Amino acid sequence: MIVNDYSAELVVASRFAEAGWNIYFPHRDKGFDFIVSKEVEGNGEMIRPVQVKGKYPMDEKGDKAVYGYVGKLTKLHPEMILAIPYYSGTTTLIPEFVFYMPISMIKECSRGYKCQPASFRKGRPVPREYFKKFMDNEGLKLAEREDWRVITIDY
């Protein structure tokens, strides 16, 4: 399987565009992959820096209770979105789903940072129940909220 995070960035950017966000790509990639903005009634202009970290399972991957991004983040920002497109083992063209995670859901760990809103079962990524509100269109809608930076899961 050929892994290309540039295509993941474009897929995620297109999802933002479809939801009415404006997309701004940097001249140089030194942190955030792109910036999004949207005029939201009652909230004004929402501006969010975005980092995309695609998940591409390899054939030998076994089942995991938690599955997501673990590693370094080149930059952090209180209003940022960590977008995690999850691909199946059969294609890297279209993700199974995308999570849009606020900084409140990104935790420090020994390898840098972690955010694991999915599990991995029988060769496929599976959304974890409590995290589903950050997934796909619902997650994009949450990013419009003024309190985006502090939204967490409800157990």
* pLDDT (average), residues 12-28: 95
User: Are the C-beta atoms of residues 79 and 35 closer than 8 Å to each other?
Assistant: no
What percentage of residues in the chain have a pLDDT greater than 70?
Answer: 94
- Confidence class of residue 59 from pLDDT cuts 50, 70 and 90? low
CATH of domain 5-146: 3.40.1350
pLDDT tens digit sequence for 90-107: 766 789 999 999 999 999
* pLDDT (average), residues 19-42: 93
Predicted structure pTM score: 0.94
Q: What residues does each domain of the chain span?
A: 5-146
pLDDT for the residue 146: 96
Residue 2 has pLDDT above 60, yes or no: no
- Confidence class of residue 64 from pLDDT cuts 50, 70 and 90? very high
Asked whether the CA dihedral 148, 94, 75, 65 is positive or negative, the reply is positive
Distance of CA 146 to the CA centre of its chain: 18
pLDDT for the residue 123: 85
Q: How far apart are CA 130 and CA 155, in angstroms?
A: 6
pLDDT for the residue 130: 96
Q: Tokens 């809608």 belong to which residue?
A: 141
* pLDDT (average), residues 4-9: 81
Mean pLDDT of the chain: 92
